[in-house]
Structure 1
């Protein structure tokens, strides 16, 4: 099957971001992709909590979600909306960072809330506290589709190998890693981590990414790394989206999953051990 990874440079304006997302989604479908994926924070990127609070919506009221569901149905494609920032009913007012798998009928086939929060000091001037604005999820999600079993994750989850191992041992053949990866950590770690997750699990890894400089109405903006990647179960990079916005295509042969796992069946070799 053919997949199309959409690479975006979103701002903090959900309406403007939706326009460019629709353009690339249609281009992906026109290019023959039956499964299209968008990056983390498809609806907006902002470090201003007040701006987020006034522009984000609850899931049932989110225009980006409703419009992309309708477009997936019109195009007849499976769509992974990498993630949307959404309002919640949480007493502390924190948002959800939620990924959606949309069926060609337009129905929501699966939801996944990002588990691991990006609370890091990349440098003296690059400090992130995702958990201050977003509450973490607590459940791994494996989605069954007619073409593959898909394990969902989002961005910083990539650094927690145990999540991907659990998904693969539960039957995942494809792992999705939509991201807005920091440009500094991305240059150092993005390719090697994605290849490692593919090799460890014998899965295809599909990682649509944000790229470039993301302006903010209130704030300094930020840079993301780009390089949407498709990695095969043996670890080969099948496609790299570089740093420009657009669609990256790849053709997947899912028989490679069983082949890779047959050569190195490490998913069946876990052993209990003691210490530390």
Structure 2
């Protein structure tokens, strides 16, 4: 089955209302280009590293501006709209880095909370501790759609191949990894990791990204990607600024890739002998 998919690249700031307006314009562009499935990046609603600033604009899911706008857009445009993630206030005072998939009637099909927290110390003094603010998710998510089975991940999850393997073994043909990769880590690893996850699992991988210098001072790598099951890049955005990329994908290519290199079937259990 053929389907046209899109990834929306953004440079979100600290104001969710402005970000929602920019998201809407880009999603409408993707629809105008014929996309049935549209993905936005991680932290679509706000890129804000200051905790107090983020808490000031946080809302619960039922009051969230991005969620409300996505319901309207998906229903009006008749598309599957995947909000790569947005920050959602939880009852325990923590925050969920939560993805949503909206149906063409505007209903919420599923949610996914980012599992792996970006707790790292990089060169040049760059340090992050997502676990201090966010509550990690506990469940991988894969959902059957009329055109494919789709699975979820967010940003740092890309470095954990077992998540993608579990989703592929569940029959997922399209894997996703919307992101806000730092420029430092993106330059080193973004293309390699994204293509590897697609190749390892014989699946398409769609990754909408944040890109450029943000209002809060951080810089993200961009280069939103759509990759086929053989690891070929079908569409790629630049390293700065907004963009919409699209690709017409043939879901039969997942079966073809998995038949040529049946590593999902050939995997064996083993034990480690440590000497």
Q: Does 1:228 align with 2:241?
A: no
Specify the alignment match of 1:253 in structure 2: 250
Measured against aligned partners, the alpha-carbon deviations of 1:136-175 in whole angstroms (never above 9, x if no partner) come to: 0000000111111001000000000000000000010000
Q: Which of 71, 78, 98 matches 2:73?
A: 71
Structure 2 counterpart SS, 1:134? coil
Query: Alpha-carbon deviation of 1:253?
Result: 0.6
Q: State how far apart, in whole Å, the 2-side matches of 1:36 and 1:139 are.
A: 23
Measured against aligned partners, the alpha-carbon deviations of 1:20-71 in whole angstroms (never above 9, x if no partner) come to: 1000000000111111110000000111111111101000110110111111
Summarize the alignment of residues 212-223 of structure 1 with structure 2, pairs less than 5 Å apart: 212-216=212-216, 221-223=217-219
Measured against aligned partners, the alpha-carbon deviations of 1:163-204 in whole angstroms (never above 9, x if no partner) come to: 000000001000010000010110110001011000100010
Specify the alignment match of 1:32 in structure 2: 34
Q: State how far apart, in whole Å, the 1-side matches of 2:124 and 2:190 are.
A: 21
Q: State how far apart, in whole Å, the 2-side matches of 1:78 and 1:151 are.
A: 13
Specify the alignment match of 1:112 in structure 2: 112
Specify the alignment match of 1:173 in structure 2: 173
Q: Normalization by structure 1: what TM-score? A: 0.96
Q: Normalization by structure 2: what TM-score? A: 0.97
Over 2 Å off, 4+ runs: none
Alignment gaps of 5+ in structure 2: none
Q: State how far apart, in whole Å, the 2-side matches of 1:257 and 1:273 are.
A: 27
Alignment gaps of 5+ in structure 1: none
Summarize the alignment of residues 178-189 of structure 1 with structure 2, pairs less than 5 Å apart: 178-189=178-189
Report the aligned-residue RMSD.
0.8
Q: State how far apart, in whole Å, the 1-side matches of 2:36 and 2:56 are.
A: 35
Structure 1 counterpart SS, 2:116? coil
Q: Does 1:262 align with 2:239?
A: no
Query: Alpha-carbon deviation of 1:125?
Result: 2.3
Structure 2 counterpart SS, 1:72? helix
Q: Which of 43, 46, 49 matches 1:47?
A: 49
Query: Alpha-carbon deviation of 1:124?
Result: 3.4
Structure 1 counterpart SS, 2:226? strand
Q: State how far apart, in whole Å, the 2-side matches of 1:253 and 1:274 are.
A: 38
Count of matched residue positions in the alignment of Structure 1 and Structure 2: 270
Measured against aligned partners, the alpha-carbon deviations of 1:192-247 in whole angstroms (never above 9, x if no partner) come to: 1011000100010000000001112xxxx100000000000011111111123120
Structure 1 counterpart SS, 2:54? helix
Q: State how far apart, in whole Å, the 1-side matches of 2:269 and 2:147 are.
A: 34
Structure 1 counterpart SS, 2:250? coil
